[in-house]
Amino acid sequence: MHSWEQRKLGDIAEFSKGSGYSKGDLIESGTPIILYGRLYTKYENSISEVDTYVEAKDGSVYSKGGEVIVPASGETAEDIARAATVDKSGVILGGDLNVVSPNEDINSAFLAISISHGNSKRELAKKAQGKSVVHIHNEEIKNLVVPFPAKAEQNKIVEYFSNLDDLITLHQRKCDELQSIKKFMLQNMFILGRNRKYNFQ
């Protein structure tokens, strides 16, 4: 196993920004878009399905697939120090997003995990500026030093956490189903009891 190497993100990635758009631009169907606020409420480390849409304007920034996005503003420094990868191409990247495109020896999902957890998260949170709303700019992300193992090991780590996420989703669904059954049974128990159709013994 190779030792992990500390690398400055400015040396291994290209940096850009998303463009325009706010919640008020959202429509029922159209071009898929990621708005920064959804990073706090909806998406995990990897974004494969997008459920918000806009009418595309000229000058929009589209994903190519494999970008790492970091919110440019948020409520707290801890909140803002997070990242996710965009798996698909053709998704519009909204205005308040820093867009990081790593070179080919970096697994973008591994980079997103690294930024969102541990020492990198703490360092990025320290760099967040502002009082009522905090901001992070590409300059701050460029100066972040992140430890990377060899690409093959990055891939294995990403696969491991991806499998865990799938397992969590599966159990969450089962849990939701059981909650629904319980709710249904509680709502119907007294009707059933009155009609004497069912015997719970």
Output the six-digit token pair for 60: 């929009």
Domains of the chain in sequence order = 5-149 (3.90.220.20)
User: Could you give the count of Cα atoms lying within 13 Å of 167 in the half-sphere of its Cβ?
Assistant: 6
What's the pLDDT tens digit per position in 109-161? 999 999 988 888 888 888 887 777 888 889 999 999 999 999 999 999 999 99
Q: How far apart are CA 60 and CA 153, in angstroms?
A: 35
- pTM of the entire predicted model: 0.83
User: Could you give the count of Cα atoms lying within 13 Å of 60 in the half-sphere of its Cβ?
Assistant: 21
Q: How far apart are CA 109 and CA 19, in angstroms?
A: 22
Does 199 score more than 60 pLDDT?
A: no
Q: How confident is the model at residue 64 (pLDDT cuts 50, 70, 90)?
A: very high
Q: How confident is the model at residue 187 (pLDDT cuts 50, 70, 90)?
A: confident
Q: What residues form DSSP beta bridges with 5?
A: 148
Q: How far apart are CA 40 and CA 80, in angstroms?
A: 8
What's the pLDDT tens digit per position in 33-55? 988 777 766 556 788 888 889 99
